[in-house]
Amino acid sequence: MVGGALLVAGTTSDSGKSVLVAGLCRWLARRGVRVAPFKAQNMSNNSMVTPDGGEIGRAQALQAAAAGLEPSVRFNPVLLKPGGDRTSQVVVLGRAVGEVRALSYPERKAELLRVVLSTLDTLRADFDVVVCEGAGSPAEINLRAHDIANMGLARAAGLPVLVVGDIDRGGVFAHLFGTLALLDPADQALVAGFVINKFRGDPALLEPGLRQLDALTGRPVLGVLPWREELWLDAEDSLSYVADGVIGRPAPPVGEQWLRVAVVRLPRISNATDAEALACEPGVAVRFVTEPSRLADADLVVLPGSKATVADLAWLRQTGLADAISAHVRAGRPLLGICGGYQMLGTRIDDRVESGAGEVGGLGLLGVDLVFEPDKTLRRPAGVAMGEPVRGYEIHHGRVARRRDDLAGLVELPGGEVEGALAGPVAATHWHGLLENDAFRRAFLRWAAERAGRDGFRAAEGVSFAAARAAQLDLLGDLVADHLDTEAVLRLLESGAPGGLPTLPPGAPPSDAVPVG
């Protein structure tokens, strides 16, 4: 099976592509198959730093973990990080190469397809199987001519395609049928089957629909994956989170009181998953908030990262959240700023890189000034925070240009330097993933509970975030093994899409792949 590959496409964003790829990687790895994930082009502000100092989508890092691998820039060669509705930063093989507007991006697609295909070729040479993830929907016919992530990739690399649909959204049969019918004949020839995701209830109720879909399209449904409420960690992007919604499945408190955490859902939030480690803790209720009244009864406020720090800071002021955050701190209750959130807490921001706004005033809750630099900081540092060893990763243009002399750091680095800040009820850091360090997270929760006056809260012992993530990956592997036609999947990996698959009308006009030469 050396060099086998397939593409998992979806009827919509957040249909289950990422988790199905992770599940396939886990299932194959447990069978002893050397498997790697691959997403040609991802659009997400949830990213992670690889061991070699590159940047990739966080979902591909999770899929790598499912396969038993360290994250690599090869798993996500093109990453788009939206900074506004029409502009994105382009990251190629882990490095930012500039900004593009939505209408100018197609001009770069031929060059990027060469990068994508050569990277996929190296993975297929080094691994038995590569499981590829599409982006959005393959039926976005307005984008097909320059597509490098869905059917454009499948055509160029000869990949069989599985299309997954989310039944929880409703209309899944129409979604699956319509997706196929909107593809041109050559694209349709590569679609080998369907997968239905998030089904609740008796599978027998679906059987008539499954048979009719097979009869109408000539393609089988290769599996119906059941809804499992335990699957909530590492969402592909912040759109998966409901505004003003609870994160995770909070367990009852160990002590007598809950600790209530409000995470500000910024318009351009980045690495929204930072707060998920808190949501794994018993007695910690974590929710996203978008308006100031939600902060009134919060014990801890988290101001997360942002891909548009200055714009999101202006949004805080427009919505009244800035005043609510300041009032929260004046009352002595704890606040945690992470990356862009840390930058907003300072006295001044000089940004001629990300927004071009120049100097703007921060919230003034920390005695630091920030300056944005063209070169992005990408690293995976280690240190000590609140007496506990910690590791994290950094992804930011902002740098601390001045800090008040008496301002303590949150993290002590080797050599005596400090990172972040700890001042009264305010803690701040540029590090993502800091809360995934179990001992530090417990120390931080004890500090936050004390500041919030939650004497009845007790931080649970023995909670392992890494174990929680591993359990979810194992569950995904089990779902694939138990509910997917795995023999059919193996045939696709070995032989590709079967010949003679029927073409559904109307079909899009013939669409040539983006030229490589």
SS (H, E, C) 225-242: EECCCCCCCCCCCHHHCC
Report the percent of the chain where pLDDT is more than 90.
82
Q: What is the pLDDT of residue 240?
A: 52
Rg (Cα) of the chain, in Å, rounded? 23
pLDDT at 250 over 50: yes
Separation of alpha carbons 396 and 339, rounded Å: 7
Helices (H), 320-437: 321-330, 340-344
Q: pLDDT per residue over 224-233, tens digit each?
A: 999 988 887 7
In the residue annotation, 339 being an active-site residue is answered as yes
pLDDT at 199 over 60: yes
Average pLDDT value over all residues in the chain: 93
Q: What is the pLDDT of residue 103?
A: 55
Q: pLDDT per residue over 452-502, tens digit each?
A: 999 999 999 999 999 999 999 999 999 999 999 999 999 999 999 999 999
235 Cβ contact partners less than 8 Å away, ≥ 6 residues apart: 46, 241, 272, 273
**CA–CA–CA angle 89, 23, 195 (5° rounding):** 90
pLDDT at 239 over 70: no
Instruction: For 361, list phi and psi in degrees, rounded to 5.
Output: -80, 140
In the residue annotation, 432 being an active-site residue is answered as yes
Q: What is the pLDDT of residue 446?
A: 98
Q: Among 175, 396, 430, 432, which one carries the catalytic annotation?
A: 432
Separation of alpha carbons 410 and 39, rounded Å: 35
Q: Which two tokens stand for residue 53?
A: 């100092």
Q: pLDDT per residue over 127-159, tens digit each?
A: 999 999 999 999 999 989 989 999 999 999 999
Separation of alpha carbons 54 and 70, rounded Å: 12
Query: DSSP of 261-294, one letter per residue?
Result: EEEE--TTEE-GGGGHHHHTSTTEEEEEE-SGGG
H-run or E-run covering 26: helix 17-30
Q: Which domains does the chain have, with CATH numbers?
A: 4-220+485-495 (3.40.50.300), 238-464 (3.40.50.880)
Count of alpha carbons within 13 Å of 467, Cβ hemisphere only?
6
**Inter-CA distances, 311 with 318, 351, 359, Å:** 10, 11, 13
Q: Among 328, 339, 396, 397, which one carries the catalytic annotation?
A: 339
